[in-house]
């Protein structure tokens, strides 16, 4: 901190201890003292763990980035190139984690952080910079600037037995990290904490991290991760999608099946998947946000968009003939006749407790006939919804 070019206070970047620049408060001999990294020492990656890459490698990376930026600028001459965020500079590919000697004392729970700054309006960006200050900037990654979590995960793979992960974003960001772990074939997934910054945050609710970030100090969240958490488990399901043989008799059916097979982005389910009205609205919302990301950049705007699209869909009734194309069997019991009898407009396959921004489809209380749903019981709950249920879900 400076005033009229005179240092009036000194703060340690690691332990955050601060002193007035007075002899009675701070002595120069303190500069020789070893820093213990403060109350978050068991989460902070010490600088001694990191090895700087040779300048040639860093230069190659910078040149590649410049070339890519020039290509973008030439394609769009009227666009102003976006500034690289602070944490992208700090966590760029200029360092690697060296092999850790278990005999040397270090953090017991080193925390790897992924932040989606586009989540939660401006809260994601604020969280990114605050966490860079509280922790080592080279353990905090802007997941959008780095084009995903792969680089950060590979960088810290050598400390996999101790590693913890904090994901700041929505359920989609969590799925992004989990799918990357699948691709990297990690032997055991690290425990993960969530900072909910998305629109629905159903997975965060189900895992006990709440449905929205309440602007509490992030230092308190880090202390909770360190001292007040217990590990729970999450079932994840692989969805097998096969072409519909009967559709080959329909004009264009074969082409449709090929298109569906080639366009499936993921076949793993973390939260839930559904068939019918709500899936149609979710797809419309996804297309709207992809086309106009600047218009749908907050939880409030997203909820309004969902409500509007849901209301329009209820009047159009594009799902009215859904029951004519569905056959379903649960625990060996064919329930297709029930689907056709009641004309359900949505079938939900559920892995966690919450749905659609905090809704519990089967109510808060369960009867003696049904067990309370769990995210780690090896079972999927199947629910069907009426138009009125979806109206409440979108409102």
* Per-residue pLDDT at 79: 31
Q: What length does the chain have?
A: 395
Mean pLDDT by 10 residues, the chain (395 residues): 60 80 68 82 88 61 47 39 33 67 72 89 86 94 92 86 92 93 89 91 91 88 91 90 63 56 71 85 80 74 78 75 84 88 85 85 63 84 72 42
* Per-residue pLDDT at 83: 30
User: CA-CA distances (angstroms) from residue 76 to 70, 79, 181, 250, 335?
Assistant: 10, 6, 35, 43, 55
Domains of the chain: 47-52+79-228 (3.40.50), 237-269+271-394 (no CATH)
Which residues 6+ apart lie within 8 Å of 323 measured at CB?
A: 339, 340, 343, 344
Residue 280: name the closest of 253, 306, 298 by CA.
306
* Per-residue pLDDT at 334: 92
Q: What are the DSSP E strand ranges found in 130-191?
A: 140-142, 164-169
Whether pTM exceeds 0.85: no
Q: Are 257 and 243 in contact (CB under 8 A)?
A: yes
User: CA-CA distances (angstroms) from residue 57 to 94, 145, 150, 314?
Assistant: 8, 19, 19, 56
């Amino acid at each position: 901190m400076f005033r009229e070019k005179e240092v009036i206070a000194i703060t340690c970047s690691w332990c955050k201890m601060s002193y007035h620049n007075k002899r009675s408060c701070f002595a120069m001999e303190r500069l020789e003292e070893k820093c213990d990294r403060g109350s978050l020492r068991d989460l902070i990656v010490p600088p001694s763990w990191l090895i700087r890459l040779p300048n040639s490698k860093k230069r190659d990376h910078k040149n590649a980035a410049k070339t890519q930026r020039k290509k973008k600028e030439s394609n769009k001459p009227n666009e102003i190139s976006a500034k690289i965020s602070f944490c992208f500079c700090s966590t760029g590919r200029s360092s690697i984690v060296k092999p850790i000697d278990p005999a040397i004392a270090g953090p017991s729970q080193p925390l790897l952080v992924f932040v989606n700054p586009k989540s939660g309006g401006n809260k994601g960006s604020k969280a990114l910079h605050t966490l860079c200050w509280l922790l080592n900037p080279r353990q905090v990654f802007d997941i959008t600037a780095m084009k995903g979590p792969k680089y950060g995960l590979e960088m810290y793979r050598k400390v996999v037995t101790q590693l913890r992960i904090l994901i700041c974003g929505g359920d989609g960001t969590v799925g992004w990290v989990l799918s990357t772990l699948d691709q990297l074939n990690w032997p055991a997934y690290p425990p993960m904490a969530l900072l909910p910054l998305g629109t629905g945050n159903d997975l965060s609710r189900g895992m006990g991290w709440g449905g929205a970030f309440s602007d509490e100090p992030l230092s308190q969240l880090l202390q909770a991760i360190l001292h007040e958490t217990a590990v729970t488990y999450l079932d994840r399901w692989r969805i097998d999608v096969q072409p519909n043989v009967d559709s080959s008799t329909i004009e264009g059916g074969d082409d449709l099946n090929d298109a569906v097979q080639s366009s499936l982005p993921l076949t793993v389910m973390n939260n839930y998947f559904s068939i019918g009205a709500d899936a149609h609205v979710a797809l419309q919302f996804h297309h709207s946000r992809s086309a106009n990301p600047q218009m749908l950049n907050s939880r409030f705007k997203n909820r309004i968009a969902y409500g509007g699209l849901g209301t329009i869909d209820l009047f159009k009734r594009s799902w009215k003939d859904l029951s004519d194309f569905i056959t379903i069997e649960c625990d060996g019991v064919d329930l297709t006749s029930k689907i056709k009898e009641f004309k359900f407009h949505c079938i939900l396959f559920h892995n966690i407790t919450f749905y659609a921004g905090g809704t519990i489809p089967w109510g808060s209380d369960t009867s003696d006939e049904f067990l309370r749903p769990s995210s780690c019981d090896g079972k999927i709950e199947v629910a069907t919804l009426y138009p009125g249920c979806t109206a409440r879900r979108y409102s």
